[in-house]
Structure 1
Amino acid sequence: MKRYILLFVLFFMSFYIHGQKDILTLEKSITGVWSLMPSSWSNPQWAKNANILYYGKRNKYLYRYNPTKNRTDSIALVDMINPSLKKAGYDTIKSTPGFTFGPKNELVFYSGEHKLSFDMASKKLVKINNAPRKLSLLDSPETPFVFSFSKDDGLYVIKAKGDTVLVAQGSDSIVYGQSVHREEFGISKGTFWSPTGDKLAFYRMDQSMVEQYPIPNWEVIPAKVRHIYYPMAGRKSHHVTLGVYDLNTGKITYLNTKGDPEHYLTNVCWASDGSEIYVAEINRNQNHTEFNAYNPNTGHKIRKLYTETHPKYTEPLTPYTFIPNQSQLFIAESKRDGWNSLYLYKTDGTMIRKLSHRVEVTNIIGFNNKNTVVYYQAILPNTIDLHYFSTDITTGKTTQLSQGPGQHIGNISFDGKYAFESNNTFGEHNQYRVRDLTKNKVQTIFTANEPMENFNIGETRIDSLTAEDGTLLFARTIFPYDFNPAKKYPVVIYVYGGPHAQMISNRRNAQAQTWMYVLANEGFIVFTLDNRGSSNRGMQFENVTHRRMGDIEINDQMIGYKFITSQPYVNPDRVGVHGWSYGGFMTISLMTRQPGKFYAAVAGGPVTDWHMYEVMYTERYMDTPQQNPEGYKNASTFNYIDQLSGPMLLIHGAQDDVVIWQQSMRYIEACIKKGKQVDYFVYPSHPHNVSGKDRIHLIQKVIDYFKPGLCIRKIKNIRCCIYF
């Protein structure tokens, strides 16, 4: 009895406190979301050769923190720099600019398109180069005054004297210097400068053998069609090669990458002295990867460094990281042991030692000034925490440097004595700390405010559940701001569930999107679970879904369903589900493969049939339709339309070039033929994601679809759907 009295006391206290706060609107949560972010510093970084931390606060000052003395002072940087800028004819600045440190501790920053350096001691301003920053896919090496850019699918180089040279002329079907393979395998760019800036490696992509796909433009009258090359699973894929342009001779040499022309080339990087270029070559089946070294002058393969194979798939994502000033040593990232781990290699392909153990490495931070220690971020098994570690390159001794729960992002001083920590932990204010790594002592130097505390938002909770095989699963629950434990609430399950994504982590708001709090305040419990198949939990957690997309994910999501519907404050008969992209596929699958469990669903940009999705992604996780016909059949949402019961809304962007519009259009047609009623909405001018102001419209539509008032409106149209 006392327990229930306490619950009601807390409820009324919470109601009173929330009543004094601002209302979180959908507009605020989307277009105004930046005003809801915690206060922060701008680009904090250590000096190149001293244990002094510099940072800005978006004002006229540059701040510097001395950890030895635990003291901060400021420099009136704007007043210091502007006279020199004005004298040299450059645009003056109003606040501390984004900057990096040059080799002599000079500030490097931009004024308009001019890249400049400024020595704070001598007040000397030096022009580094003019950066034509408005050009498409602009790229440059460390060497000043050289740039590459893309125009009309061709590749151009701006030389040191300002001459613009056409390296290769593109066409409708042949593209130069752009990202390839639909940006899978960690690919985000198409040009790669040598360390000395005298050579440029670039992708050449021939798409002429790939089927074209129409993307309509409804903004002109009559409507027009833009065609893209979209390689679907089991069909022809594009052919990619790597060229090397020599700025001194003007000659192009193509690397002699043999084998199936539909293979994938990724992880492109140069040797630290520019003598070799390294490429990871993946077969189309994606179960075999060769890591090769090539001669950039002749294009000939010099040697195979090593090979990785896996019965399911290999997926190299990151180029080599060379040990500074040691041109014969590099660090490779690989998932061969079930985790994304670091390995120390010689350039002849000899593995020296493994550097990380049973952690999921997310990125390398850097090295100490002696280049004997590597620092990196990683996630421990069965956690949603992010830590940073150090490993002695010569001995392999590893130390976890950050401590405690949460997301700890480290920035190491030049000699490895100190670390600047950005700490982001669920349920706590963000903090900046400086850790003395020699004594493991921590000094908190900044605690951020939390703007969300000024708004009516409900509590957020993280739970750990167990899958059928005993695997730990993490879930998040968001409550309405006026939550009353004596009531029965409807639930909206927000789902993604696919690879390369994680919805829940031990950070601010448990990684929830801000609009979810608006949905909760409409009187819903908002629930999310990261099922097996999602990322940052090791390969066994991720690749368990191989060749059977949808099966394991649905099983795990139903573990979450059973958990949330068993809570005393939940009405188990009023559960909806919503997701986008892979989450759209999951939404339709849950609605139709678990009939009677969900009362309503909203599926955005959904994959309805994996036959119609892109080659690289689909064949990695499903193999080809020819190799795995049963898997494609079982995963197809078309095969479960007969089991659809209850209202379901599909949403798609007409400009979608990721999950093509035809995915949902064919599904709608199949529903019509089977006499199944579904609702449909299209955003004519949006691609795969609806962004900007229109996203307010999108999320409002999602909320309205789950709200009770929708039923009343549909009764007026002689169609009654009792949603919630």
Structure 2
Amino acid sequence: MISIKRVLFLLLLIATPALAQRNITLEEIWSGAFRTQGMYELHSMENSNQYTVLDVNWATGNSSVDLYDFKTLEKVSTLISSKDFAELNSIDAFTFSPDEKKMLIATNTQPIYRHSFFAEYYIYDIATKSLKSVADIPIQEPVFSADNSKVAYAHANNLYYYDVATGNTQAITKDGERNAIINGITDWVYEEEFAFVRAFDWNKAGDKIAYIRFDEREVPEFTMEYYNMGLYPYPYTFKYPKAGENNSKVSLHIYDVKTGTTKQIALNSFNPYYIPRIKWTNDAQTLSVQLMNRHQNNLDLVFVDANTGKTTGVLNETDKAYINITDNLTFLKDNSFIWTSEKDGYNHIYHYNEKGKLIKQITEGNWEVTAFYGFDDRTGNVFYQSVENGSINRDVYSININGKRKTRLTPNEGTNEATFSPDFDYFINSYSSATTPPVYTLHESKKGKLVKTIKNNQGLANKLDKYNLPKKKFTVITTPKGHELNAWMIKPADFDPNKKYPVFMYQYSGPGSQEVSNQWHSYNDYWFMMLAQQGYIVACVDGRGTGFKGAAFKKVTYKELGKYEVEDQIDAAKVIGGYDYVDESRIGIFGWSFGGFMSSNCILKGNDVFKMAIAVAPVTNWRFYDTVYTERYMQTPQENASGYDENSPINHVKKLKGDYLLVHGSADDNVHLQNTMLMVEALVQANKQFDWAIYPDKNHGIYGGATRLQLYTKMTNFIKEKL
């Protein structure tokens, strides 16, 4: 007779594998079941050794800005909570006045494009706990003056400033007009491709405001229709310069608050086609301006005397391909400056004097600096992030400004990102890897000594243990042409080397991008693991043109986007198809945006390799995309017609053999639906069968409500049916 204990033991043995094999579902992924805990809007104070965090209670909807001490990590106080003010539905964003006695609080935000938004803004006095409105209308990009007395902001394409003491508002510009003139806020293409919105800035005396004016009257217009706004579709028209077309005419202006007058700065002796950055130096009457030519291969750093308007060229850089714009320009007390550049073949840190003469190349080597954190003028140390410990990893380092005493401050291999205290004595490190969810820790900056763990995601890690998730394994694939490419692979947890598996490849492949990185899971990663649980191998390869392996590796694609990147995906698929455990007749590929351009090209040019492809929001011909991005890598269509046409999937539709799913949002302001519509027409006229889906009123991200769940269900079903 079998005892009850024996029966229970046997039942436990049977049940345990079932529990361990729990499968991920799309519903869990897109409901946020695997969301990590973080330190949101982590902000280091300037005038005290403290930091703030935006704490959000997702259950109640309340949000608060809490102040903490860097040294002890103890909470000092709650500076403001939305529940205490009827005016605040939530705290969507916040900034401080220079003296950090007041805050600008954003609520009821309304997105415009990728980075821009309108919001209702309030000035909050921390000492008196009082709240007052900056304007009775939604505004953009408010910022305090250096003397804390005024707030400049934009509304309806004009600039204004609000006097905090009197409550009076003064117009700085009056000629702003939609789709014509924009003052102090970037146009669509600057926002998207130069990645900034606020194109105005106070000087350090609080008596002048520099701003860029955009005259977009000659820029062609693009119209999208919104379908869910009434009985008739609503047309939305905005200025969008496609490759080779007119850009906004930009000009630089300085407004004098004391006199109420504006001076236009003459820049014609340089290359003023683009003004991608302005920044006041530590001299209150000296403005720095970065200027670029249309090809974006000539960059001038120019100093402007705000009183006289005189311009002085300080630094000039040229490149055979292109130069990327960054926000790393940092002025020291003597107005010497720190600058990052790829001019030696890798992105490194340089120190120049106030005249633009090179003092020292601070970092050097066959690796890239990926972030600049700041300079400690007490110790002379520079703090930065780099890939010196492998291009898929990120570590935090310190080095003296003389290029000596370099110290690695983060010991764990993976992705490390730092937020430093104002005195640079401490930093909060955000660490994750492909096997470790985000961990936030406090460290001493001198040697990186761990002080205390602030927050981890052990609860999520424990939860994921129940799923027996397959692991992401990193490797390097060497193609038949000899190119060494970073890659990762996810195999089923019960992988059997004697079986043959289908392979689903994912990539993005855009210039300077990276998908093969040692960090915690994205939403896509959970989807890939779900597919692995269902018997697929998922792989990702970063081909030539991607980032963090030097300028030569990245810029080889110049003037031929989609040639070498596609070659590398096809070659990598052939290598993977040669593995004993891979069914080479069942290889698919997926990508979004640039990745959709790539997956489309791969199913066409690699029709003997790929059985199926999914392309979401793809560029199908670079002639349809914007000037700044496209011309940076391709020059204009007038100059490089063959580069545009030979690698555009729309011109290769007759090669389609496999199964192809094409997806787009109808309100995509970035990669227009036009790309997919003309691709569809080309496929139809070539008598090719394919699947496609259009998501009404959805932008480039294709999200909102159940949209992502429905989309990923569609893609999953397509993979199961076709691969």
Could you state the TM-score of these two structures normalised by the residue count of structure 1? 0.84
Secondary structure of 2:712 counterpart: helix
What is aligned with 1:656? 668
The residue correspondences of 1:80-479 to structure 2 (distance < 5 A) are 115-116=123-124, 125=128, 135-141=138-144, 142-160=146-164, 161-166=166-171, 167-171=173-177, 172-180=179-187, 181-183=189-191, 184-219=193-228, 220-258=230-268, 263-301=273-311, 303-318=312-327, 320-323=329-332, 326-358=333-365, 359-368=367-376, 370=378, 372-380=380-388, 382-394=390-402, 397-438=405-446, 441-443=449-451, 445-446=453-454, 447-451=456-460, 453-455=462-464, 456=467, 457-467=469-479, 470-479=482-491
Contact in 2 for aligned 1:37/1:450 (Cα 8 Å):
no
Secondary structure of 2:596 counterpart: helix
Give the partner amino acid of 1:263: Y
Measured against aligned partners, the alpha-carbon deviations of 1:319-367 in whole angstroms (never above 9, x if no partner) come to: 62112xx142211122212222221122222221112223422322223
**Aligned residues with identical type, % of pairs:** 27
Measured against aligned partners, the alpha-carbon deviations of 1:417-443 in whole angstroms (never above 9, x if no partner) come to: 444322212213433334445455434
What is aligned with 1:523? 535
- Is 1:38 the counterpart of 2:36? The answer is yes
Residues 278 and 706 (structure 1), Cα distance of their counterparts in 2 relative to 1, 3 Å cut = same
Residues 129 and 63 (structure 1), Cα distance of their counterparts in 2 relative to 1, 3 Å cut = closer
Contact in 1 for aligned 2:562/2:648 (Cα 8 Å):
no
Residues 272 and 562 (structure 1), Cα distance of their counterparts in 2 relative to 1, 3 Å cut = same
1:453: Cα distance to partner? 4.7
Secondary structure of 1:19 counterpart: helix
Q: Distance in 1 between matches of 2:556 and 2:385?
A: 25
Q: Distance in 1 between matches of 2:162 and 2:52?
A: 34
Secondary structure of 2:521 counterpart: helix
Q: Distance in 2 between matches of 1:549 and 1:396?
A: 40
Q: Distance in 2 between matches of 1:90 and 1:650?
A: 47
What is aligned with 2:25? 25
Secondary structure of 1:228 counterpart: strand
Contact in 2 for aligned 1:654/1:687 (Cα 8 Å):
yes
Residues 279 and 425 (structure 1), Cα distance of their counterparts in 2 relative to 1, 3 Å cut = same
Q: Distance in 1 between matches of 2:199 and 2:133?
A: 22
Question: Number of paired residues?
Answer: 680
Root-mean-square deviation (CA, aligned residues, Å) is: 3.7
Residues 107 and 656 (structure 1), Cα distance of their counterparts in 2 relative to 1, 3 Å cut = closer
Q: Distance in 1 between matches of 2:55 and 2:686?
A: 60
1:20: Cα distance to partner? 4.6
What is aligned with 2:631? 619
Q: Distance in 1 between matches of 2:25 and 2:405?
A: 51
1:553: Cα distance to partner? 0.6
Contact in 2 for aligned 1:62/1:96 (Cα 8 Å):
no
Unmatched tracts of structure 2, length 5 or more: 1-11, 58-63, 108-120
What is aligned with 1:562? 574
Contact in 2 for aligned 1:382/1:537 (Cα 8 Å):
no
1:105: Cα distance to partner? 9.3
- Report which stretch shifted further, 396-405 or 42-51: 42-51
What is aligned with 1:605? 617
Contact in 2 for aligned 1:56/1:63 (Cα 8 Å):
no
Could you state the TM-score of these two structures normalised by the residue count of structure 2? 0.84
Residues 663 and 416 (structure 1), Cα distance of their counterparts in 2 relative to 1, 3 Å cut = closer
What is aligned with 1:506? 518
- Report which stretch shifted further, 667-676 or 91-100: 91-100
Q: Distance in 2 between matches of 1:412 and 1:600?
A: 47
Measured against aligned partners, the alpha-carbon deviations of 1:561-620 in whole angstroms (never above 9, x if no partner) come to: 134323444322112211111111101100000112112211111111112211111111
Secondary structure of 2:652 counterpart: helix
- Report which stretch shifted further, 527-536 or 577-586: 527-536
Unmatched tracts of structure 1, length 5 or more: 1-11, 119-123, 709-722
Contact in 1 for aligned 2:201/2:279 (Cα 8 Å):
yes
Measured against aligned partners, the alpha-carbon deviations of 1:255-292 in whole angstroms (never above 9, x if no partner) come to: 21216998111121011232111111111122212211
Secondary structure of 1:689 counterpart: coil
Residues 592 and 259 (structure 1), Cα distance of their counterparts in 2 relative to 1, 3 Å cut = farther
- Report which stretch shifted further, 344-353 or 156-165: 156-165
Secondary structure of 2:565 counterpart: helix
Contact in 1 for aligned 2:142/2:154 (Cα 8 Å):
no
The residue correspondences of 1:674-693 to structure 2 (distance < 5 A) are 674-693=686-705
Q: Distance in 2 between matches of 1:591 and 1:18?
A: 38
Contact in 2 for aligned 1:475/1:560 (Cα 8 Å):
no
Secondary structure of 2:702 counterpart: coil
- Report which stretch shifted further, 451-460 or 53-62: 53-62
1:382: Cα distance to partner? 4.4
Contact in 1 for aligned 2:98/2:147 (Cα 8 Å):
no
1:665: Cα distance to partner? 1.2
Residues 46 and 349 (structure 1), Cα distance of their counterparts in 2 relative to 1, 3 Å cut = closer
Give the partner amino acid of 1:331: I
Q: Distance in 2 between matches of 1:154 and 1:332?
A: 32
Give the partner amino acid of 2:155: K
What is aligned with 2:715? 702
Residues 154 and 46 (structure 1), Cα distance of their counterparts in 2 relative to 1, 3 Å cut = closer
Contact in 2 for aligned 1:128/1:144 (Cα 8 Å):
no
Residues 492 and 481 (structure 1), Cα distance of their counterparts in 2 relative to 1, 3 Å cut = same
1:126: Cα distance to partner? 6.4
Secondary structure of 1:625 counterpart: coil
1:245: Cα distance to partner? 2.0
1:486: Cα distance to partner? 4.8
- Report which stretch shifted further, 392-401 or 275-284: 392-401
Contact in 1 for aligned 2:589/2:614 (Cα 8 Å):
yes
Q: Distance in 1 between matches of 2:239 and 2:448?
A: 54
Measured against aligned partners, the alpha-carbon deviations of 1:353-386 in whole angstroms (never above 9, x if no partner) come to: 1122234223222233626222122222742111
